[in-house]
Structure 1
Amino acid sequence: MSNAFQSAIDTQEQLVSDIKSVISEAEEMLSDTADQSGDKISQLRARVKARLSDARERLVDAEAALRHHTKKAARATDDYVHESPWTAVGVAACVGLLVGLIIGRR
């Protein structure tokens, strides 16, 4: 998997995490102001609800894109392994050796 591709996936994962955090905080704010009344509070609550709705839509889109990219990477990996099985075995062995050496030094 290329660094750019991994970076895109990491960015999307961070976006999903950030949106979930914002939604959670906004829902908490709505809960905290539930017993408040008045025009300003009502307007604020309406704006927050609209923002939450928008954030949920963005979250659904980001999760779908992340799922799509992950499946695409898995398919590409599967295709490569089927086309070049011995190369894949060699690469996996090298990676395993490197990981073993790194862990062994600690």
Structure 2
Amino acid sequence: MSSNGEANLNQEELIDDLRNVLAETESMLKEVASDGTEQGRALRAKIAANLSVAKDKLVETERLVAGKAKVAAKVTDEYVHENPWTSVGVAAGVGFLLGLLVSRR
């Protein structure tokens, strides 16, 4: 498996984990909304822990996405420097097609 495929898989796993943590947190929050007992305080502590985990996962996901964006920018920059006229031609073609689409409306 390529490193890009592994990064996509890791990113998807992180997003799924984050969704699960947030869903569990919402459920617990509904349970303890009006509970002032010892159990309620324990649940609030668990909610705080879950939110901390969610924040950590979010930071990790952000780091992965930023890393992938940097790699993509670097590869694009290298390609443009190695093939300037091809890049100009592609950009002109895309601009022309977008112009046609916009002018039809």
Query: If the length of structure 1 is used for normalisation, what is the TM-score?
Result: 0.68
Aligned length in residues: 88
Partner of 2:74: 75
Partner of 1:47: 46
- Displacement, 1:56? 0.6
SS in 2 for 1:51: helix
Give the unaligned 5+ runs of structure 2: none
- Displacement, 1:36? 4.9
Question: 5 Å matches for 1:79-94?
Answer: 79-94=78-93
- Displacement, 1:37? 1.9
Rounded to whole Å, the distance in 2 between the matches of 1:99 and 1:59 is 35
Report the residue type matching 2:98 in the other structure. Answer: V
SS in 2 for 1:37: coil
Give CA deviations for 1:2-60 in whole Å, capped at 9, x if unaligned: xx99xx5xx77xx4xx76xx4xx86xx5xx94x85211211210111111010011011
Partner of 1:99: 98
Identity of counterpart residues, as a percentage? 40
Question: 5 Å matches for 1:11-30?
Answer: 15=15, 22=22, 29=29
Give the unaligned 5+ runs of structure 1: none
Rounded to whole Å, the distance in 1 between the matches of 2:104 and 2:43 is 57
Query: If the length of structure 2 is used for normalisation, what is the TM-score?
Result: 0.69
Rounded to whole Å, the distance in 1 between the matches of 2:35 and 2:43 is 11
- Displacement, 1:65? 0.6
Rounded to whole Å, the distance in 2 between the matches of 1:81 and 1:57 is 36
Rounded to whole Å, the distance in 2 between the matches of 1:64 and 1:47 is 26
Which structure has the higher relative contact order (CA within 8 Å, separation 6+)? 1
